Amino acid sequence: MKHLFVSLLAALAVGIAASAVSAPAAVKYPHRIISLSPTATEDLFAIGAGKQVIAVDNQSDYPKSAPKTSLSGFTPNVEAVVAYHPDLVVISYSPKGFAGALAKAHVRVLLQPFAVTFKDAYAQMLQLGKVTGHLKEATALVARMKARIAKLVAAVPRKALTVYDELSPDYYSATGASIIGEIFKLFGLENIADAAPGAGSSGAVQLSAEYIVSESPDLIVLADTRCCGTSRATVSARPGWNTISAVKKGAIAVIDDSIASRWGPRLVNFVNAVASALRTTQK
Amino acid sequence: MAKAAELPLTDAARADARRLRVHGSSWLWVGGGVAFALAALLTGIVVGPAPIGIGAIVESAASNIPFLGLHSHLSASDSAIVWQLRLPRVVLGLLVGAMLSCAGATYQGVFRNPLVDPYLLGVAAGAGLGATLMIAYAPGQAFNGDLLPLAAFAGGCGAVVITYAIGRSSRGTATLVLAGVTVTAFLTAIQTFVQQQHTDTLQAVYSWILGSLDTAGWHDVLLLLPYAGVSAVVLLLHRRVLDVMTLGDEEATALGLNVGRIRVLLVAAATLGTAGAVAVSGLIGFLGIIVPHFVRLVAGSSYRIVLPLSILVGGGFLAFTDVLARTILSPAELPIGVVTAFFGAPFFAVVLRTARGVGP
Amino acid sequence: MTALALRSLSVRLDGSLILDSVDGCVEAGEWVTVIGPNGAGKSTLLRAVAGLVPRLGAVEIAGHTELGRRELARRVALVPQSPALPPAMTVAEYVLLGRTPHLGYFAREGLHDLEIADAALARLDLVELAGRRLGTLSGGEQQRAVLARALAQQAPILLLDEPTNALDVGRGQQALELVDALRREAGLTVLAAMHDLTLAGQYADRLLLLDRGRVVAAGGADDVLTDELIRRHYGASVRVLHDEDGRLVVVPTRRS
């Protein structure tokens, strides 16, 4: 009898030990991702993680196939987000401790704030690749973007031209301390907003009409066409603007607002638009 | 028999009567005010990020006078800057500053309270809501064309009409002021809600609220001119009446005035001008309070001098403030509401400390 | 000639009846003082005559019952109990305000108006103080300024609401003497509301005793100022005496 008891104990011990070791841990990537950042949405779909995304915020309008909901990335509601039972939430903005609240609800949060340089933007794409199990695609995307941009820049002969980038019709302009500013530097363009005090630290400053007219930039980039009805026609009609070099030559680039305000894969489109506008000035 | 009470009128009395022309020295103040406004005008034309010399500007101006044979040597760009950007901006600053100060002085007289400003009855909240709705739901039209000023104007006037409907009472002004507070709170709440629903409009609305003259052109000047003109004329004609109103509703009625009707008329005229000013330049604060007080401190408290001097000093002050707003951080702009508040707040603190001595 | 007549004058405010069918009349050049305990309606009576409260019944001024606001202001000048004296306003500006009922809505004062105001200042001995601000004046000087303003109004009827309340015995007497002198010079009709029974008796031609909105006695000082009436309506214990010269004095007697 004693032998039977010991054997049963031993069998039990082996069984427990075996189940403790169990199968090798399968790495589970998140497959119920919520994106509350339009840029992260674009990034996720561009690196092939779109199928793992169950909901995106109300501003994420690209790509069109993204599952847009009424969730707000700007005034987020913790309960509404948690109700989806996500296993990863990507945000670019954490008002009033939103990230902390999500953490308390045991939801994994990834904060990818507004990128000020290309390096930061690429880093975010790679981070998303790593987290969602698409690191290979992310690396390839970054490489593609870099190559494409380099090609676009090389195709335009460098000339020392001045540029004015308009973010809103009351003359808010992007400065060198932003990705847009970096793009201009790639082309060797001088941004007239950089002369403003505070342009070194702030991504945008408000200029005066008089300054813009007197600087007479060679290229104007409009990033406020969708929100505010600005167009080549309205800009040319502003008092005194018909004396500006860019207006006279028609070197006005129109960038969709959402492209100009995000730091995702469509940055390439931005570079392309600037390049083709520059080609107009060459004529 | 309505025989008027006879008073013995001596010759000495007749000769001395001219002494009572209370405003002999007031012409001096008016002259000073005119000089101040002119100085603001000239400074505004000459100063700016683009370096354009005074001589060149004068020459450019003079070239418009026939038979002088003078030609402007300014480039097309500089000429556009001076005549299409700087000058209308300065003129608009003068108009808006004049209008807000005049309306503020009037409100202080109508409500017999030195601490009211022209936004008391809801003009600011109404205009802000109108502008926000326009920016949120019709952004294409909002920034080009006149729909934004129109929406702000309609909102501002509408708010005051609602305030009056709620708060008019035969027993003085307290109810009216409370109604203004209520309407302001309500409309501001709606505006905030709309902004939250359309977060992409936030920056545009915020910068509108801070007030600015930097997108001004002759178009805006012409837009404001009729309203400001009518408003100023009506208010100036009521200077004597405003002085009588300082005695309070009862005594003014005993002196033969229809106080309720006068109040409506004055509020309507002041609102017209204020809504117009806000519509083209956003919400510029403090001007409506500090300028009339400053004028009272230096020139006396009769509305016969306070109104015209407020117009001159207020216009000049805003034009000068605008020069600061566009040169301190040049070529970047400071919102003008920031500059007026920055200088207005400490000044107002001083006024509060001395306000016991001087009433409206 | 009756300058002012009250016929069944009633005033209801906030639901309660403040004046109940008051009848009375004041002849041209006469001084009638309304007396009565607190809450009797004295001030309300004056304000009703000045058209400041809605009323039932008739107020007849020189035969006219329905007068417009301005017309009324040309005939009736009210000196209120607590006049609004804007502290920053000068005496001259303040007195000039009295000309308001005679000026067109947008009109400025003419030379004639200035002369009248100037004469009022002179009559009230305010010429040296003309440029001073009201806030810097003493109580007595302020009272004179208010009287000057009423005078500048050139209204034949003067309504005085508690004219001596804020003044000491000397200033109070001076004010009343002044009003009496003006009355005789300019033929003013005076209707006053007063607290002080002795002063009321000494200056008025006739008295009206008001209690809870009703006229309970009317007549000369000897008829109205009696121990009995005062005890009944004021609830006060007094003795009405006459001094050697026959002047009437009301003396409160302390119940011991």
Enumerate the domain spans of chain A: 33-133, 157-282
CATH code of domain A33-133? 3.40.50.1980
What string of pLDDT tens digits covers the 256 residues of chain C?
788 999 999 999 888 999 999 999 999 999 999 999 988 899 999 999 999 999 998 999 988 888 899 999 999 999 999 999 999 899 999 999 999 999 988 988 899 999 999 999 998 889 999 989 999 999 889 999 999 999 999 999 999 999 988 788 888 888 899 899 989 988 899 999 998 999 999 999 999 999 999 999 999 998 999 989 999 999 888 899 888 888 889 998 887 6
Q: Which of C132, C154, C176 is the last residue of a domain?
A: C154
Chain B nearest-CA distance from C98, in A, is 7
Chain C nearest-CA distance from B177, in A, is 21
User: Which positions ≥6 away from C38 have C-beta within 8 Å?
Assistant: none
Chain A nearest-CA distance from B281, in A, is 12
Q: How many domains, in total, are found in chain C? A: 2
Residues C28 and C51 in one domain: yes
Q: Is B208 domain-assigned?
A: yes
Q: Is B254 on the interface with C (CB under 8 A)?
A: yes
Residues C168 and C124 in one domain: no
Q: Is C210 domain-assigned?
A: yes
Residues C198 and C230 in one domain: yes
pLDDT of A17 strictly over 80: no
Asked if the Cβ–Cβ distance from B255 to C98 is below 8 Å, we say yes
- A223, A245, A246, C124 from A250: Cα distances, Å: 16, 8, 6, 81
Which among B227, B278, B251 is positioned nearest to B124, based on CA atoms?
Answer: B278
Residues C101 and C169 in one domain: no
Residues C165 and C243 in one domain: yes
CB-nearest to C92 from B20, B244, B257 is B20
Q: Is C74 domain-assigned?
A: no
Residues C52 and C166 in one domain: yes
Q: What confidence score (pLDDT) does residue B3 get?
A: 37
Q: How many domains, in total, are found in chain B? A: 1
What is the average per-residue pLDDT within B328-343?
82
Q: Is C5 domain-assigned?
A: yes
Residue A25 banded pLDDT, cuts 50, 70, 90: very low
The CATH number of the domain holding residue C226 is 3.40.50.300
Q: Is B178 domain-assigned?
A: yes
Rounded (10°) CA dihedral B328, B330, B335, B341: 0
What is the average per-residue pLDDT within A202-215?
86
Mean pLDDT of chain A: 86
Chain B nearest-CA distance from A41, in A, is 18
- Chain B: residue nearest A214 by CA? B50
- Chain C: residue nearest B14 by CA? C115
Q: Is B34 domain-assigned?
A: no
Chain B nearest-CA distance from A226, in A, is 8
Asked if the Cβ–Cβ distance from A208 to B331 is below 8 Å, we say yes
Range of the domain at B205: 96-353
Q: Are B314 and B191 in contact (CB under 8 A)?
A: no
Q: What confidence score (pLDDT) does residue B163 get?
A: 93
- Best-predicted range by mean pLDDT among B166-180, B343-357, C76-90? C76-90
Q: Is B70 domain-assigned?
A: no
ipTM, two decimals, is: 0.91
Residues C14 and C130 in one domain: no
Asked if the Cβ–Cβ distance from C50 to B254 is below 8 Å, we say yes
User: DSSP label at B86?
Assistant: I
Residues C49 and C169 in one domain: yes
Q: Cβ contacts (< 8 Å) between A199 and chain B: which residues?
A: 332
Residues C42 and C4 in one domain: yes
pLDDT of B200 strictly over 80: no
The structure tokens 């000047």 sit at B221
What is the average per-residue pLDDT within B215-219?
79
Q: What confidence score (pLDDT) does residue B2 get?
A: 34
Residue A10 banded pLDDT, cuts 50, 70, 90: low
Q: Which CATH superfamily is domain A157-282 in?
A: Nitrogenase molybdenum iron protein domain (3.40.50.1980)
* Contact present, A and B (at least 3 Cβ pairs less than 8 Å): yes
Q: What confidence score (pLDDT) does residue A13 get?
A: 61
Tens of pLDDT, residue by residue over A253-265, are 898 888 888 999 9
Residues C166 and C256 in one domain: yes
Chosen for mutation from C67, C118, C190 (greatest number of chain B CBs closer than 10 Å) is: C118
Chain A nearest-CA distance from B152, in A, is 17
Residues C116 and C241 in one domain: no
User: Is the pLDDT higher at C31 or at B4?
Assistant: C31
Asked if the Cβ–Cβ distance from C74 to B2 is below 8 Å, we say yes
Range of the domain at C117: 81-154
pLDDT of B24 strictly over 70: no
Q: Is B88 domain-assigned?
A: no
Q: Is B151 domain-assigned?
A: yes
Contacts 24+ apart (CB under 8 A), B21-27: B21/C114, B22/B302, B22/B304, B22/C90, B22/C92, B22/C93, B22/C96, B23/B302, B23/B304, B23/B305, B26/B299, B26/B300, B26/B304, B26/B305
Asked if the Cβ–Cβ distance from B296 to C72 is below 8 Å, we say no
Residue A14 banded pLDDT, cuts 50, 70, 90: low
pLDDT of B74 strictly over 70: yes
Residues C212 and C102 in one domain: no
- Chain B: residue nearest A226 by CA? B140
Asked if the Cβ–Cβ distance from B254 to C116 is below 8 Å, we say no
Neighbours of chain C (3+ CB pairs under 8 A): B
Q: Is A208 on the interface with B (CB under 8 A)?
A: yes
What is the average per-residue pLDDT within A116-125?
93
Asked if the Cβ–Cβ distance from B212 to A207 is below 8 Å, we say no
Asked if the Cβ–Cβ distance from A214 to B78 is below 8 Å, we say yes
Q: Which of C123, C154, C185 is the last residue of a domain?
A: C154
What is the average per-residue pLDDT within A177-188?
90
Residues of chain A with pLDDT > 90, as a percent, come to 42
Mean pLDDT of chain B: 84
Tens of pLDDT, residue by residue over A94-104, are 887 888 888 88
pTM: 0.83
Whole-angstrom distance, CA of residue C163 vs CA of residue C177? 12
Q: Cβ contacts (< 8 Å) between B257 and chain C: which residues?
A: 69, 100
What is the average per-residue pLDDT within B319-333?
85
Q: What confidence score (pLDDT) does residue A24 get?
A: 46
Q: Is B18 on the interface with C (CB under 8 A)?
A: yes
3-state secondary structure chain C: CEEEEEEEEEEEECCEEEEEEEEEEEECCCEEEEECCCCCCHHHHHHHHCCCCCCEEEEEECCECCCCHHHHHHHEEEECCCCCCCCCCEHHHHHHHHHHHHCCCCCCCCHHHHHHHHHHHHHCCCCCCCCCEHHHCCHHHHHHHHHHHHHHCCCCEEEEECCCCCCCHHHHHHHHHHHHHHHHHHCCEEEEECCCHHHHHHHCCEEEEEECCEEEEEECHHHHCCHHHHHHHHCCCEEEEECCCCCEEEEECCCC
CB-nearest to C62 from B2, B5, B21 is B2
Q: Cβ contacts (< 8 Å) between A169 and chain B: which residues?
A: 143-144, 215
Q: Is B276 domain-assigned?
A: yes
The CATH number of the domain holding residue B176 is 1.10.3470.10
Q: Which of C102, C128, C154 is the last residue of a domain?
A: C154
Asked if the Cβ–Cβ distance from B257 to C74 is below 8 Å, we say no
Q: Is B32 domain-assigned?
A: no
Q: Cβ contacts (< 8 Å) between A196 and chain B: which residues?
A: 329-332
Q: Cβ contacts (< 8 Å) between B258 and chain C: which residues?
A: 69
